[in-house]
Amino acid sequence: MSEHIAPLKLYAFVFITLLILTVVTWQIAYIDLGRWNTVVALVIAIGKASLVAAFFMHLRWSASMVRLVLFAALFWLAIMITLTAGDFFSRGHVQPWQASTQISQPMRSATLR
Amino acid sequence: MGMIASRREYQLHNTQTAVYEQFDDRTQQHEASSLGMWIFLATEIMFFGAVFTSYTVYRNLYTTAFEIGSHHLNTPIGAINTAVLICSSLTMALAVHAAQTGKRKQLMAYLVSTMLLGCVFLFIKFVLEWIHDYKEGFAPGLHWTYAGPHTNQVAMFFCFYFILTGIHATHMIVGEGIMVVLLYMAWKGRFSAERYNPIEMFGLYWHFVDIIWIFLFPLLYLLGAHF
């Protein structure tokens, strides 16, 4: 049965959990955890998003093909972020003024040759 | 089935069976519409994902500047807006529930509450935040007066802030418009316990916009709260 009617108690539970998690993530942000601030904030955000998707968006009871669409999108997103970040953080950042010299140098030598 | 003469007759025929003629049964029809909506949401994930990706890159390149920029945002207002949006998600879920159980008046009441909560969110965003940020001189290109350290990189953070909250607010405004149409349809009695797909599919859209905000709140507001 794909057209599932969720019990109202479950909605209330999800709603209260979402509000509690919002207060938690907001208050934790005032504590200095160094780089862990971002990690904690993102983990809580993923948890909240999963609650909304699973119960408010009925993914818990959806056909597996519907879930496949979501996971495919998240998979492509992960590829986009991983490859882009890998490129930026492994090659080092080039400032605009450095970029112009780096490009112009070989070009000048090419014209001289 | 026999011949269907007019559009009115066609609508009557379909209200009775609640299945469009290209589908075998209600389950297939329901899965088809869910699948279509989720494919649209997948494109939305990629649309927002591109901005999130560039955000990730520049957040890591200019960590300090992004924390300074984030520090100038009003975190309590962001948290209140998150709560407002979660409330609107609940009323939307309840609207779908009312549609599924064929309660027309409840459906209309929950749709109106969702619309009002959406308007509260937009009011806070426009009036209490954007206009305030603009007056403070945090609008890159329009009115940028921040002269502290890393001014160019902080300007970049505010570009992300205005673009991300801007396309999110655009989605909310579009949603409000669709809800006006849905409310009119509900008032006209177009939905029943057998036929409520538009309400449910719009619910998916509204919850998705909520999920986007669930990520925007920590990414924009919570970075620089701790100093």
Q: What is the phi/psi pair of residue B4, to 5°?
A: -105, 115
Q: ipTM above 0.90?
A: no
Rounded to whole angstroms, the Cα distance separating B227 from B222 reads 11
Residues of A in contact with B82 (CB under 8 A): 22, 26
Q: What is the phi/psi pair of residue A63, to 5°?
A: -65, 150
What's the pLDDT tens digit per position in A68-90?
999 999 999 999 999 999 888 88
* B 195-224: CB under 8 A from A: 200, 203-204, 207-208, 210-211, 214-215, 217-219, 221-223
Query: B79: distance to nearest CA of chain A, Å?
Result: 7
Please give the pLDDT value at position B22. Answer: 87
What the block records as the tokens of A25 is 């993530």
Nearest chain B alpha carbon to A36: B223
Average pLDDT over residues A38-60: 95
Q: How confident is the model at residue A30 (pLDDT cuts 50, 70, 90)?
A: very high
Rounded to whole angstroms, the Cα distance separating A69 from B72 reads 38
Query: B71: distance to nearest CA of chain A, Å?
Result: 11
Query: B225: distance to nearest CA of chain A, Å?
Result: 5
Query: B136: distance to nearest CA of chain A, Å?
Result: 23
Low-confidence ranges of chain B (pLDDT < 50): 1
A86-91: long-range contacts (C-beta < 8 A, 24 or more apart)?
Answer: A88/B57, A88/B60, A88/B61, A89/B60
| pTM for the whole structure | 0.88
Please give the pLDDT value at position B3. Answer: 57
Query: B32: distance to nearest CA of chain A, Å?
Result: 9
B147 touches A at CB < 8 Å: no
Please give the pLDDT value at position A108. Answer: 46
Nearest chain B alpha carbon to A41: B218
B95 touches A at CB < 8 Å: no
* A 84-103: CB under 8 A from B: 84-85, 88-89, 93
Please give the pLDDT value at position B223. Answer: 87
SS3 B70: helix
Pick from B185, B222, B72, B183: which is nearest to A24 by CA?
B222
Of chain A, the percentage scoring pLDDT greater than 90 comes to 64
Please give the pLDDT value at position B26. Answer: 83
Residues of B in contact with A18 (CB under 8 A): 86, 89
| DSSP category for residue A32 | -
Rounded to whole angstroms, the Cα distance separating A67 from B70 reads 34
B26 touches A at CB < 8 Å: yes
Rounded to whole angstroms, the Cα distance separating B86 from B211 reads 9
A30 touches B at CB < 8 Å: yes
Nearest chain B alpha carbon to A94: B61
Q: Considering only residues A1 and B64, tell me which one the structure prediction assigns the higher pLDDT.
A: B64
Neighbours of A99 (CB within 10 A): 10
Please give the pLDDT value at position B224. Answer: 83
Task: Report chain A's mean pLDDT, rounded to a whole number.
Answer: 85
Angle at B133 between CA B128 and CA B134, to 5 degrees: 110
Mean pLDDT is lowest, of A3-17, A32-46, A92-106, B11-25, for: A92-106
Rounded to whole angstroms, the Cα distance separating B219 from A57 reads 23
What's the pLDDT tens digit per position in B79-93?
999 999 999 999 999
